[in-house]
């Protein structure tokens, strides 16, 4: 594929729990292209955040990568040593976290924190780095950056804090920017502004954005491609428009049907019956079998691999042709 | 302390927003969690050892004196300052004898009871008073809280040993006075903790709910605040037990704690001090007894703090093997169960 | 900041007075100094004269009023034993204890930060387990036992260190400081480790790592400053209880400090000296608490703001 900067191939993550080791991310593969936005879509607990954390090597101590590759500009981050990964964190790969209040260090001024990437990777002096920080703040739309650079995170509003996080992430113009539910904690108008800013920056710096979200509308508006995850597995992937127009996996279809776009007053809202499986008791066949209207014997015994269902589209379903 | 309880307040591991559905704290029935606690204790070898040692010491303190009988006070002036680790005089002589020919082992056992009979009531008394006042002050806030905290500050800002020295000098050293003095100096510790947690709880929704039903404040404290504060306080009490034991030893060492012919570990160290060059075992073993007891209690308290904190509990579940990254090819599928 | 300090001073006067009052009353309950300072053959007249000269025949209220009146004029009374000014005696003993405490806390804090951070960096690793166990053991050692065992091994056995006194330069410091430092070191290491473990798993550390910050930078820049507050609180409490240790250590090592002076004045019913030493200790602790509060404010902007209001 042309312009591919990040290729995730068969990435698996295991978590240790008191009741044994479980697989939270199971052989996830996708590739992200420069100047495009790829959305990782799924319910909470489906492993999408875990995937993002594995990519940036920031997994919890209880979790570890059990296999697969994360190739960024020709370097496999899973196999790379600590030093290589550190050198790439910032200039090549950056992440925007969900909760900006806890993600910013409460005891340092925002200027210090914005300046840090420049200090670490470019060896700039305190003064130079501060100037860069002010420019960055201006770029992400924070008013009066000259004075606000010396204030602390708690003196900013939620939206402004998210802008600060984005500023830190794009400081060194990385090739890939992961955004882990960047707007979940914000109200709708601020959400729109933040997404607009992300889009602008993506075009301006020719980055690849990987948007992790559970918000279908956000995916429809922002993303070029979508990877739908369920219980740690990729169930469907492809260009957003095509996937949303004609889902080829029953889970994607269920998700889309549950959006009340065409619902009239008095209609029952559709929802997917049941709940995602406990990671300790993921069935041996298809992960979606318990909630799937199409499930039959084959689904109970044999897990479907993602297969190409159309050019650039995959679905992991034995009966994807029947999804309507 | 506050950061820990903040995390506990979330009710979920603070790490990772995408915790698996079947993560560290499934909504298992309460009965299950007790069994889980036991299993978790057994999994941690150090904590298990600490619990075993501590149980042994407690049993010794309770039943030991019956076993050794009068051996602790029997003088054998023909058999003084015998070195330890010989079985010439039977098992009672295994830790040597003192200048009066008394068995060090027998005296250690008897001293264990004295030490515990000071430390345990002092801790219980301080815990009860401190917890009550603390919860009451934290629940009602306002003047009551300020007043309680001021008094606690006064007690805390004064070195406890000095206070004990002055008081014991006035009221003559006895077990009862020791208990009272040690309890008073340690009340603020529980008071502060109970207040902090209760302040946090009184603003919670379930307390609000109880209040809207017209539940009296004492009933709310009893039913809603106390059960939540208790585990923290019990862990704290375990640590405080060590502190009180050390304080009693220091006072006995200084000559204003336990008085002869009674004997405590601290007093034994003090009495053996002048024989340091000729009979090291007289001071060494009582000191060792203090250390072993204190270390066991500390280890157990540290474990309990982790085990009762949902945000920290996962640490206990990590396998013991070195956690280097596995770089092998994709793990086999059947690894999941 | 000024308002904050003024408020602190005002709210601390009451506890100071309370402590002093308590000691004053309790001290007088310990018994009549006359029986200690006069020969047994002293006549009732001599006893009465002694009692009157020292004002012990006045009512307790009168005595309290006289004493606090004196304190306002910076007159703290005289020692019954030596006739010297109590303030002079207390101030003379003070530096010895202060130096001891300073050296102790320096070692304890520095050691705890290094060991605690190192252990917290890899939670549950073998190194962490060893460090945790050792720090728990250190926190459990009775100071008097450690002191006399130290004397036995290093002074009596090896002859490497002096048994007591301050006359032998640096080597006379080793055992007293080691004795005083071992428990604070153990306790603080555990606190630092705990605070660092939670700081290192905080989201802001993830952010720092995502910027490419290395282990040393994450620990020293990002986690340590956040972990400092709980450690500071405990360090303050430990410094207060250092006075406890000083009493024991100064008695064992014959260190001419304030702890020894206190014990001597209690057993000698030397009320004026006892009160002067207690007052000095209490004021020192009070100053220490203010310093700690200022440190909080310096570490964290959020504290500065609440203090300003």
Average pLDDT value over all residues in chain B: 74
Write down the ipTM of this complex. Answer: 0.84
Tell me if residue C81 falls in helix, strand or coil.
Answer: coil
Binary contact (C204, A104; C-beta < 8 A): yes
Q: 1.10.3720.10, 3.10.150.10, 3.30.360.10, 2.60.40.1180: which CATH number matches B39-72+83-321?
A: 1.10.3720.10
Q: Does B253 touch chain C (CB under 8 A)?
A: yes
**pLDDT value of residue C276:** 86
Per-residue pLDDT averaged across A77-94, rounded?
89
Q: Does B320 touch chain A (CB under 8 A)?
A: no
Alpha-carbon dihedral C265, C266, C268, C272, rounded to 10 degrees: 50
CA distance C236 to C258: 19
- Mean pLDDT check: name the lowest of B171-175, B292-296, C86-90: B171-175
For chain B, how many residues are written?
337
For B272, the closest chain C residue by CA position comes to C148
pTM value? 0.79
**pLDDT value of residue B325:** 37
What is the distance in angstroms between the Cα of A182 and the nearest Cα belonging to chain C? 14
Residue A297 has which token pair? 């014997």
**pLDDT value of residue B283:** 85
Question: If residue A244 lies in a helix (H) or strand (E), which one and from where to where?
Answer: helix A240-245
Task: Decide the pairing of beta strands A233-239 and A225-230.
Answer: antiparallel
**pLDDT value of residue B310:** 58
Q: Peptide bond before C68: cis, by omega within 30 degrees of 0?
A: no
pLDDT at C141 over 80: yes
Task: Decide the pairing of beta strands A37-41 and A208-213.
Answer: parallel
Q: Greater confidence, A270 or C30?
A: A270
Tell me the per-residue pLDDT of A6-52, one tens digit each, with 9 for 90 and over: 999 999 999 887 777 889 999 999 999 999 999 999 988 888 889 99
Contacts of A81 in chain C (CB under 8 A): none
Per-residue pLDDT averaged across B198-221, rounded?
80
Angstrom CA distances, B64 to B68, B175, B314, C80, stand at 6, 20, 39, 49
CA distance A201 to A175: 12
pLDDT at B10 over 60: no
Residues with Cβ within 8 Å of residue B218, at least 6 apart in sequence: none
pLDDT at B337 over 60: no
pLDDT at B331 over 80: no
CA distance A323 to A247: 7
**pLDDT value of residue A315:** 92
Closest C-alpha among C297, A281, C250, A200 to residue B161: C250
Closest C-alpha among C285, C148, A153 to residue B284: C148
Per-residue pLDDT averaged across A54-70, rounded?
88
CA distance A149 to A69: 39
- Which single residue is written with the structure tokens 């979790």? A63
Per-residue pLDDT averaged across C95-99, rounded?
88
A16: β partners: A21
**pLDDT value of residue B328:** 34
Residue B321 has which token pair? 């093997």
Helices (H), chain C: 2-29, 34-37, 44-53, 60-72, 86-121, 126-140, 143-150, 171-200, 203-210, 215-217, 224-253, 258-267, 271-299, 301-308
What is the distance in angstroms between the Cα of A91 and the nearest Cα belonging to chain C? 8
- Which single residue is written with the structure tokens 């008095």? A266
Q: Greater confidence, B13 or B279?
A: B279
Q: Greater confidence, C42 or A188?
A: A188
Residue C116 Rama label (left phi>0; alpha psi -120 to 50; beta): alpha
A28: β partners: A11
Binary contact (B162, C123; C-beta < 8 A): no
Going by pLDDT thresholds of 50, 70 and 90, the confidence category of residue B320 is very low
Q: Greater confidence, C103 or B279?
A: C103
pLDDT at B125 over 90: yes
pLDDT at B91 over 80: no
Tell me the per-residue pLDDT of A157-176, one tens digit each, with 9 for 90 and over: 888 999 899 999 999 989 99
If 0-12 CB within 10 Å is exposed, 13-18 middle and 19+ buried, where does residue A155 land?
A: middle
Binary contact (A107, C208; C-beta < 8 A): no
Binary contact (A17, B327; C-beta < 8 A): no
Q: Does C232 touch chain A (CB under 8 A)?
A: no
CA distance A166 to B223: 46
**pLDDT value of residue B90:** 67
Of the candidates C212, C222, C300, the beta carbon closest to that of A86 is on C212
Q: Does A22 touch chain B (CB under 8 A)?
A: yes
Please report, for chain B, the start and end positions of each structural domain, with discontinuous segments joined by +. Answer: 39-72+83-321
Per-residue pLDDT averaged across C229-248, rounded?
83
Task: Decide the pairing of beta strands A176-180 and A208-213.
Answer: parallel
- The b/e string for C144-157 (b: 16+ C-beta within 10 A; e otherwise) is bbbbbbbbbebbee
What is the distance in angstroms between the Cα of C117 and the nearest Cα belonging to chain B? 17
Per-residue pLDDT averaged across C242-256, rounded?
83
pLDDT at B12 over 50: no
pLDDT at B249 over 50: yes
Going by pLDDT thresholds of 50, 70 and 90, the confidence category of residue C291 is confident
Q: Greater confidence, B31 or B309?
A: B309
Q: Which of residues 153-212 of C touch B (CB under 8 A)?
A: 156, 190, 195, 198, 201
What is the distance in angstroms between the Cα of A155 and the nearest Cα belonging to chain C? 9
Going by pLDDT thresholds of 50, 70 and 90, the confidence category of residue A149 is very high
What is the distance in angstroms between the Cα of B321 and the nearest Cα belonging to chain A? 13
SS3 letters across chain B = CHHHHHHHHHCCCCCCCCCCCCCCCCCCCHHHHHHHHHHHHHHCHHHHHHHHHHHHHHHHHHHHHHHHHHHHCCCCCCCCCCCCCCCCCCHHHCCCECCCCCEHHHHHHHHHHHHHHHHHHHHHHHHHHHHHHHHHHHHHCHHHHHHHHHHHHHHHCCCHHHHHHHHHHHHCCCHHHHHHHHHHHHHHHHHHHHHHHHHHHHCCHHHHHHHHCCCCHHHHHHHHHHHHHHHHHHHHHHHHHHHHHHHHHHHHHHCCCCCCCCCCHHHHHHHHHHHCCCCCHHHHHHHHHHHHHHHHHHHHHHHHHHHCCCCCCHHHHCCCCCCCCCCCCCCCHHHCC
| HSE of A239, CA atoms in CB hemisphere, 13 A | 6
Tell me the per-residue pLDDT of B159-168, one tens digit each, with 9 for 90 and over: 777 777 777 7
Q: Considering chain C, what percentage of its residues have pLDDT values greater than 90?
A: 6
**pLDDT value of residue A240:** 93
- Mean pLDDT check: name the lowest of A112-116, A254-258, C43-47, C106-110: C43-47
Residues with Cβ within 8 Å of residue C104, at least 6 apart in sequence: C177, C180, C181, C184, C242
What is the distance in angstroms between the Cα of C78 and the nearest Cα belonging to chain B? 20
Residues with Cβ within 8 Å of residue A35, at least 6 apart in sequence: A3, A202, A203, A206, A207, A208
DSSP A99-123: -HHHHS-TTS-HHHHHHHHIIIII-
Going by pLDDT thresholds of 50, 70 and 90, the confidence category of residue B34 is low
pLDDT at B13 over 50: no
Going by pLDDT thresholds of 50, 70 and 90, the confidence category of residue B135 is confident
Of the candidates C126, C149, C243, the beta carbon closest to that of B284 is on C149
For the ranges A34-43, B37-46, B293-302, the one whose mean pLDDT is highest:
A34-43
Question: CB contacts < 8 Å between B and C, how many?
Answer: 139
Q: Does C129 touch chain B (CB under 8 A)?
A: yes
For residue A185, give the DSSP letter.
Answer: T
Contacts of C137 in chain B (CB under 8 A): 291, 295
CA distance C34 to C53: 11
Domains, in order of start, for chain A: 4-92+174-322 (3.40.50.300), 103-173 (no CATH)
- Which single residue is written with the structure tokens 């591991």? B13
Query: Cβ distance C119 to C193 under 8 Å?
Result: yes
Going by pLDDT thresholds of 50, 70 and 90, the confidence category of residue B324 is very low
Binary contact (B330, A67; C-beta < 8 A): yes
Per-residue pLDDT averaged across B257-270, rounded?
85
Average pLDDT value over all residues in chain A: 88
Query: Cβ distance C187 to C240 under 8 Å?
Result: no
CA distance C45 to A87: 90
- Mean pLDDT check: name the lowest of A111-115, B230-234, B288-292, B296-300: B230-234
**pLDDT value of residue B28:** 38
CA distance A298 to A285: 8
- The Cβ of residue C212 has, within 10 Å, a number of other Cβ atoms equal to 22
Residue B45 has which token pair? 């070898």
Binary contact (B250, C282; C-beta < 8 A): no
- Mean pLDDT check: name the lowest of A237-241, B273-277, C156-160, C251-255: C156-160
Task: Decide the pairing of beta strands A225-230 and A37-41.
Answer: parallel
If 0-12 CB within 10 Å is exposed, 13-18 middle and 19+ buried, where does residue C306 land?
A: exposed
Tell me the per-residue pLDDT of A186-242, one tens digit each, with 9 for 90 and over: 888 888 888 999 999 999 989 999 999 998 989 999 999 999 999 999 999 999 999
**pLDDT value of residue A263:** 63
């Amino acid at each position: 594929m042309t312009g591919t900067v990040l290729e995730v191939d068969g990435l698996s993550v295991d978590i240790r729990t008191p009741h044994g080791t479980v697989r939270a991310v199971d052989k996830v593969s996708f590739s992200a292209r420069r100047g495009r936005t790829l959305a990782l879509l799924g319910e909470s607990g489906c492993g999408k955040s875990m995937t993002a954390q594995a990519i940036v090597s920031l997994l919890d101590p209880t979790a570890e990568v059990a296999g697969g590759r994360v190739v960024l500009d020709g370097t496999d981050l899973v196999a790379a040593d600590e030093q290589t990964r550190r050198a790439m964190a910032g200039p090549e790969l950056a992440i925007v976290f969900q909760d900006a209040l806890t993600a910013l260090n409460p005891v340092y001024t925002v200027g210090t924190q914005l300046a840090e990437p420049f200090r670490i990777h470019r060896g700039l002096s305190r003064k130079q780095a501060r100037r860069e920080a002010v420019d960055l703040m201006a770029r992400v739309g924070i008013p009066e950056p000259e004075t606000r650079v010396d204030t602390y995170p708690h003196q900013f509003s939620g939206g402004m804090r998210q802008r600060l996080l984005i500023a830190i992430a794009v400081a060194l113009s990385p090739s890939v920017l992961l955004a882990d539910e960047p707007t979940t904690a914000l109200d709708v108008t601020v959400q729109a502004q933040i997404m607009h800013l992300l889009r602008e920056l993506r075009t301006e710096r020719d980055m690849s954005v990987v948007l992790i979200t559970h918000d279908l509308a956000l995916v429809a508006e922002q993303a070029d491609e979508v990877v739908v995850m369920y219980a740690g597995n990729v169930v469907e992937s492809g260009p957003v428009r095509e996937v949303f127009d004609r889902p080829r996996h029953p889970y994607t279809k269920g998700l889309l049907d549950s959006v009340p776009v065409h619902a009239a007053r008095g209609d029952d809202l559709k929802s997917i019956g049941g709940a995602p499986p406990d990671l300790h008791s993921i069935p041996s066949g298809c992960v979606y079998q318990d909630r799937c209207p199409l499930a039959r014997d084959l689904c109970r015994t044999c897990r479907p691999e993602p297969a190409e269902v159309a050019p650039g589209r995959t679905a992991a379903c034995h009966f994807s042709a029947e999804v309507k | 302390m506050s950061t820990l309880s903040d995390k506990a307040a979330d009710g979920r591991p603070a790490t990772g927003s995408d915790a698996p559905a079947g993560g560290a704290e499934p909504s298992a029935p309460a009965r299950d969690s007790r069994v889980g606690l036991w299993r978790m204790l057994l999994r941690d070898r150090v904590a298990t050892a600490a619990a075993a040692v501590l149980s042994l010491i407690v049993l010794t303190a309770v039943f030991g004196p019956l076993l050794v009988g009068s051996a602790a006070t029997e003088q054998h002036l023909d058999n003084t300052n015998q070195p330890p680790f010989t079985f010439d005089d039977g098992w009672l002589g295994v830790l040597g004898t003192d200048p009066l020919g008394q068995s060090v082992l027998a005296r250690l056992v008897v001293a264990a009871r004295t030490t515990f009979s000071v430390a345990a009531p002092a801790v219980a008394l301080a815990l009860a008073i401190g917890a009550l006042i603390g919860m009451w002050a934290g629940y009602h806030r306002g003047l009551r809280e300020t007043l309680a905290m001021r008094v606690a500050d006064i007690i805390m800002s004064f070195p406890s040993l000095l206070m004990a020295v002055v008081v014991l000098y006035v009221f003559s050293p006895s077990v009862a006075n020791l208990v009272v003095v040690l309890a008073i100096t340690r009340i603020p510790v529980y008071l502060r903790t109970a207040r902090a947690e209760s302040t946090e709880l009184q603003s919670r929704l379930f307390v609000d709910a109880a209040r809207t039903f017209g539940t009296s404040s004492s009933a709310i404290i009893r039913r809603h605040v106390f059960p939540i504060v208790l585990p923290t306080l019990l862990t704290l009490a375990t640590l405080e037990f060590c502190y009180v034991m050390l304080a009693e030893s220091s006072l006995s060492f200084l000559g204003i704690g336990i008085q002869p012919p009674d004997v405590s570990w601290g007093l034994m160290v003090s009495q053996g001090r002048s024989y340091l060059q000729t009979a090291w075992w007289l001071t060494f073993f009582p000191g060792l007894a203090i250390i072993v007891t204190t270390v066991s209690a500390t280890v157990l308290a540290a474990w309990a703090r982790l085990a009762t904190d949902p945000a920290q509990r996962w640490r206990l579940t990590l396998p013991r093997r070195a956690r280097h990254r596995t770089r092998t090819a994709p793990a086999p599928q059947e690894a999941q169960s | 900041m000024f308002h904050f300090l003024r408020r602190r001073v005002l709210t601390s006067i009451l506890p100071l007075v309370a402590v002093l009052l308590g000691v004053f009353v309790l001290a007088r309950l310990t018994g009549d100094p006359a029986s200690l300072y006069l020969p047994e053959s002293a006549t009732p007249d001599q006893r009465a004269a002694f009692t009157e000269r020292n004002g012990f025949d006045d009512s307790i209220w009168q005595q309290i009023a006289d004493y606090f009146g004196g304190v306002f004029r910076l007159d703290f009374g005289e020692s019954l034993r030596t006739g010297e000014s109590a303030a002079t005696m207390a101030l003379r003993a003070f530096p010895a204890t202060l130096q001891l405490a300073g050296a102790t806390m320096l070692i304890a804090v520095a050691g705890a930060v290094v060991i605690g951070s190192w252990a917290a960096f890899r939670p549950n690793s073998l190194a962490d387990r060893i460090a945790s166990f050792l720090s728990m053991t250190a926190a459990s050692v009775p100071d008097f036992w450690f002191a006399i065992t130290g004397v036995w091994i290093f002074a009596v056995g090896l002859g490497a260190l002096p048994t007591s006194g301050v006359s032998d330069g640096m080597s006379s410091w080793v055992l007293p400081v080691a004795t005083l430092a071992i428990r604070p070191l153990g306790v603080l290491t555990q606190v630092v480790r705990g605070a660092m473990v939670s700081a290192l798993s905080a989201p802001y550390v993830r952010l720092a790592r995502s910027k490419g910050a290395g282990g040393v930078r994450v620990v020293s820049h990002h986690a340590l400053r956040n972990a400092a507050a709980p450690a500071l609180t405990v360090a303050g409490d430990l410094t207060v209880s250092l006075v406890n240790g000083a009493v024991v250590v100064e008695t064992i090592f014959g260190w001419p400090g304030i702890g020894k002076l206190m014990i001597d004045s209690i057993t000698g019913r030397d009320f004026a000296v006892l009160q002067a030493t207690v007052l000095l200790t209490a004021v020192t602790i009070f100053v220490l608490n203010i310093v700690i509060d200022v440190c909080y404010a310096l570490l964290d902007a959020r504290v500065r703001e609440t203090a300003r209001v």
